Amino acid sequence: MRMRMEGGEEMQGAVGLRCAWDFAPPAGTQAKWVKLNVGGTVFLTTRQTLCREQKSFLCRLCQGEELQSDRDETGAYLIDRDPTYFGPILNFLRHGKLVLDKDMAEEGVLEEAEFYNIGPLIRIIKDRLEEKDYTVPQVPPKHVYRVLQCQEEELTQMVSTMSDGWCFEQLVNIGSSYNYGSEDQTEFLCVVSKELYNSASGLSSESSHKAKV
C-alpha cells in the first residue's frame, strides 16, 4: 500500500507517524452523533434528527456539503444563536411537536425557526399566533338591576312589555294605597335585571332600549 508523507515524500508499507491516504474514506463513516455549541450551550443529537428537514440550516451544516462552520475545542459546531429557544427547535425535529415552557414566547421560537429554516414549525407557530389575534377574550357578564314603581292595575302590562333582555326578578308590595275615585290602588316595586357583556374595548354592549312600563 502506498502512502504519502506530509512533506510530499512517498514510502512503501505502513511505516510512518502521520500520513494522508491517497484515497478518500469510504462513504457512511460519518459519526452518528453531532454536537452543537449554540451560544455557549452544548447540545448532543444525531444526524438523523438534524436532517428531518432536508432544506434546513442544521441539515446542511452537519452534512458539510454547503456550509462551513467553526468548531470549538471539543469539535462541536459553533452557532451564534440563543440557546434558550434552540431547545424547542431540536425537540420539534425529534418528535414533531411544539412544546414550550409557560414563560417562553412563541415569537422568539418563530425567529429561530425562520433562521434555521424549519418550514413545518414556522407554519405551526404562525397559525397559533393568528388564532390568538382572532380570539376575543371572554369577559364575565355584569348584571344591572332596576326598580320600577307601579300600581296594581299596571303590573300585567309592565311585565308583558318588558323587552331587550330585561327579566323579572322580584315584586314588593310597599303597602301604600291611594284613593282614586271610589277605589284604593296598592303600590308595588318591581325589580328587573339584565346581563351586560363587555366588548374587548371595555365598552358596554347594552341596548339603547329601556325597560318599558
Domain with CATH 3.30.710.10 in the chain: 33-134
Lowest mean pLDDT among 57-61, 80-84, 98-102, 197-201: 197-201
Is the pTM higher than 0.85? The answer reads no
What's the longest Cα–Cα distance across the chain?
139
Q: Are 113 and 89 in contact (CB under 8 A)?
A: yes
AA identity, residue 66: E
What's the CA gap between 24 and 133, in Å, rounded?
A: 55
Return the CATH fold of 142-196: Alpha-Beta Plaits (3.30.70)
Q: Identify the residue with better confidence: 143 or 56.
A: 56
**What's the pLDDT score for residue 119?**
93
Domain with CATH 3.30.70.2000 in the chain: 142-196
| Cell of residue 118, nine digits | 424549519
Strand order through the sheet with 19-20 = 10-12, 2-5, 19-20
CATH 3.20.20.80 fits 33-134, yes or no: no
Residue with the three cell numbers 312589555: 161
Environment class of residue 54 by beta-carbon count within 10 Å: exposed (0-12), middle (13-18) or buried (19+)? exposed
Summarize pLDDT for 11-55 with one digit per residue, the tens.
444 333 333 323 333 444 456 899 999 999 999 999 999 999 988
